[in-house]
Amino acid sequence: MSITDKSTDSTTDKRADWIAVDWGTSRMRAWAMTDGGETLASASSDKGMGSLAPHQFEAALLADIGDWLSAGRTTPVVACGMVGARQGWKEAAYRAVPCKPAPELMSVPVTDDRIAVYLCPGLKQQVPADVMRGEETQVAGLLAAHPGFEGVVCLPGTHSKWARVIDGQLSRFQTFMTGELYALLATQSVLRHSVGAEGWDDVAFASAIAIALQSPAAVSGRLFSLRAEALLADLAPESARARLSGYLIGLELAAARAYWGGQSVAIIGASALGRHYATALQLLDARSEIHDGEALTLKGLHAAYQQITGV
Amino acid sequence: MSITDKSTDSTTDKRADWIAVDWGTSRMRAWAMTDGGETLASASSDKGMGSLAPHQFEAALLADIGDWLSAGRTTPVVACGMVGARQGWKEAAYRAVPCKPAPELMSVPVTDDRIAVYLCPGLKQQVPADVMRGEETQVAGLLAAHPGFEGVVCLPGTHSKWARVIDGQLSRFQTFMTGELYALLATQSVLRHSVGAEGWDDVAFASAIAIALQSPAAVSGRLFSLRAEALLADLAPESARARLSGYLIGLELAAARAYWGGQSVAIIGASALGRHYATALQLLDARSEIHDGEALTLKGLHAAYQQITGV
């Protein structure tokens, strides 16, 4: 199923100069772009990397971007994310940190001569072992939007990342499974009976953050308390939700203190999750600023595109 | 599907005096017992409490224990576990700690006059909020097997429990979701690609225990490292398995230090998991002794049966 988010009327007289693609495990999003980095149209589908065999990627891409192409012209397509993983279209080998986040692109052979496809490699860190695919493009976008940026970047998500940027380079990073842990506990564990799918409780969240920072080990015992309090004291589902989120984000912040302590943090992701991280950091007297994730992905892909074309 | 674990030949001339049942969320196990506490036969089925509506419990029970009954005689059936939960056969209200673990039983109306069914209530603790159903019967069994026992009991499992026993009473307890977290992470998260379903690595386990005890917060960052090390350094699946187990058990032990610190611990459960807890405690210079879980369940149910009959 493809969903075109914006009208593509404008593209009949104004074809894409190039196409930006964020291709993750479960979704693919594409944007028709101008050389200057303006967005003409966008599309998204659920044909994520996880559901495709290598030979299926080209057709999945063309199904969504075909309208943006011109016969007789080769349009560059620049894609970041899990599309470049070993199980993806073609493996784009990790580059080792420290390095500039704006990548050297890897070309992928295609059969349709209307496109030339380039993948952004992910980053790796040997000790402690860590990897990222996609987030490096957002950090590159942050540097493109704020030249000279130095400091700490937090990218909340299924696998949230903390990264340090010094002298234009991504010097080190660490991944936390906080988002995936939250989803597993909230929807698959015994806590699913007690944790609401919506609603929020600011006080409960703040209290959980404080507990996790003060005594990280206690979190492992506090989780089941959410179920027990629901049984014994009618804990509200929205409060359980905010506390579960607070315990897990708090545990991450306790471990990531070396990143955010005494720093101003650039949070990438203007979602509710990004705002929860900002709130938590504020509770810990750390400053943060939220940046829109999609905008930075496009800026990072644009920076990569400029490397190809020399625009 | 019913599985009779032992031959029931002996029961044709020696019917059960009473029947012991351990009825959990996913399984039901039953034993034909003598007044003296000897086992004559056993059976088990996958008709756990989670798959039955209240009116289906009696038929599910009779399907497995029918052969052990005599017409014209009422055989007492004593059951512990989730069968007494609000979503079970009939709710057996939690008793509040501190209290003796051997319960006052709750009778359940049945239609077949060959049986009289009694459920063991679980235990609750108001602050911090916590509940148990089934483990209290094993603690009662421990006290029956070792009269005068005082100290700390650890019951590893999906939801592991730590309990303190003083003067014949279960005084306080705490539940950790360690087993459920392990199962979710090992089989449903991104770690499923890297964590083996079997095999073990003693050195990796010991190292993970040490890390978790030294820096509990670090565990949240170490989890994704298992995936990254598999990708970058071919981490062996059995080592990833032992490390994941070590991180999670270590996090639990860091939080449960007030229970085991300076104490000898009675571990209930002679499974591989029970041995892992014993190994971890040994690494932390704490003594422990492992007790067979099924034997203690039967001793606990026998103690409960004796309350009915005055045997």
pLDDT in the model for residue A1: 40
DSSP per-residue codes, B160-188: EEEEEEETTEEEEEEEE-HHHHHHHHHHH
pLDDT digits (tens, 9 = 90+) for B99-146: 999 878 999 999 999 999 999 999 999 999 999 999 999 999 999 999
Neighbours of B89 (CB within 10 A): 25
Q: Are the beta carbons of A256 and B221 separated by less than 8 Å?
A: yes
| Closest Cβ–Cβ partner in A177, A220, A232 for B224 | A177
pLDDT digits (tens, 9 = 90+) for B251-279: 999 999 999 998 889 999 989 999 999 99
Cβ B289 vs Cβ B267: under 8 Å: yes
pLDDT digits (tens, 9 = 90+) for A195-242: 999 999 999 999 999 999 999 999 989 999 999 999 999 999 999 999
Q: Are the beta carbons of B129 and A225 separated by less than 8 Å?
A: yes
Q: What is the ipTM of this complex?
A: 0.91
pLDDT in the model for residue A4: 45
Q: What is the mean pLDDT of chain A?
A: 93
Q: What is the mean pLDDT of residues B41-45?
A: 96
Between the two ends of chain B, the Cα-to-Cα distance in Å is 34
| Closest Cβ–Cβ partner in A176, A217, A224 for B221 | A176
pLDDT above 50 (res A125) = yes
Burial class (CB in 10 A: 0-12, 13-18, 19+), A210: middle
Cβ A14 vs Cβ A40: under 8 Å: yes
Residue B4 vs residue B83, higher pLDDT: B83
Multiple choice CATH, B2-133, 3.40.50.1220, 2.40.290.10, 3.30.420.300, 3.40.50.300: 3.30.420.300
| CB proximity A126 to B under 8 Å | yes
pLDDT above 80 (res B54) = yes
Q: Which helix (H) or strand (E) holds A310?
A: none
Cβ B87 vs Cβ A193: under 8 Å: no
Give the list of residues 6+ apart from residue A197 with CB closer than 8 angstroms, or none. A186, A237, A241
What is the rounded distance in angstroms from the CA atom of residue B178 to the CA atom of residue B174? 12
pLDDT above 70 (res B14) = no
pTM of the model: 0.92
B178 to chain A: closest CA residue? A220
* pLDDT bucket at A103, cuts 50 / 70 / 90: confident
pLDDT above 90 (res A273) = yes
Q: Are the beta carbons of B255 and A126 separated by less than 8 Å?
A: no
Domain boundaries for CATH 3.30.420.310 within chain B: 176-291
Neighbours of B7 (CB within 10 A): 8
Domain boundaries for CATH 3.30.420.300 within chain B: 2-133
What is the rounded distance in angstroms from the CA atom of residue A215 to the CA atom of residue A148? 37
Q: What is the mean pLDDT of residues A163-175?
A: 97
| CB proximity A185 to B under 8 Å | yes
pLDDT in the model for residue A135: 97
| Closest Cβ–Cβ partner in B174, B189, B233 for A180 | B189
Interface mutation target, options B86, B173, B188, B220, chain A, most CBs of A under 10 Å: B220
Q: Are the beta carbons of A177 and B188 separated by less than 8 Å?
A: no
| CB proximity A228 to B under 8 Å | yes
Chain-centre distance for alpha carbon A90: 20
Name the CATH topology of B176-291: Nucleotidyltransferase; domain 5 (3.30.420)
pLDDT above 90 (res A2) = no
Q: Are strands A28-33 and A39-45 parallel, antiparallel or unpaired?
A: antiparallel
| CB proximity A252 to B under 8 Å | yes
Q: What is the mean pLDDT of residues B39-58?
A: 96
What is the rounded distance in angstroms from the CA atom of residue B149 to the CA atom of residue B221? 40
Q: Are the beta carbons of B255 and A189 separated by less than 8 Å?
A: no
| CB proximity A41 to B under 8 Å | no
pLDDT in the model for residue A270: 83
Structure token digits, residue A208: 């959980």
| Closest Cβ–Cβ partner in A180, A228, A252 for B129 | A228
Structure token digits, residue B177: 């979701």
Q: Are the beta carbons of A176 and B220 separated by less than 8 Å?
A: yes
* pLDDT bucket at B311, cuts 50 / 70 / 90: low
| CB proximity A224 to B under 8 Å | yes
pLDDT in the model for residue B270: 83
Cβ A37 vs Cβ A295: under 8 Å: no
pLDDT digits (tens, 9 = 90+) for A38-76: 999 999 999 999 999 999 999 999 999 999 999 999 999
Q: Are the beta carbons of A256 and B185 separated by less than 8 Å?
A: no
Q: What is the mean pLDDT of residues B45-55?
A: 95
- The share of chain A scoring above pLDDT 70, in percent, equals 95
What is the rounded distance in angstroms from the CA atom of residue B138 to the CA atom of residue B300? 6
DSSP per-residue codes, A94-155: PEESSB-SSPPPEEE--S-TTEEEEE---EEETTTTEEESSHHHHHHHHHHHSTT--EEEEE
B212 to chain A: closest CA residue? A217
pLDDT above 50 (res A145) = yes
pLDDT in the model for residue B84: 96
What b/e readout covers A26-50, taking b as 16+ CB neighbours within 10 angstroms?
Answer: ebbbbbbbeeebeebbbbbbebbbe
Q: Are the beta carbons of A228 and B185 separated by less than 8 Å?
A: no
pLDDT above 80 (res A13) = no
pLDDT in the model for residue B6: 42
pLDDT in the model for residue A183: 97
Residue A93 per-residue DSSP state: P
All residues of chain B having their beta carbon less than 8 Å from the beta carbon of residue A132 are none
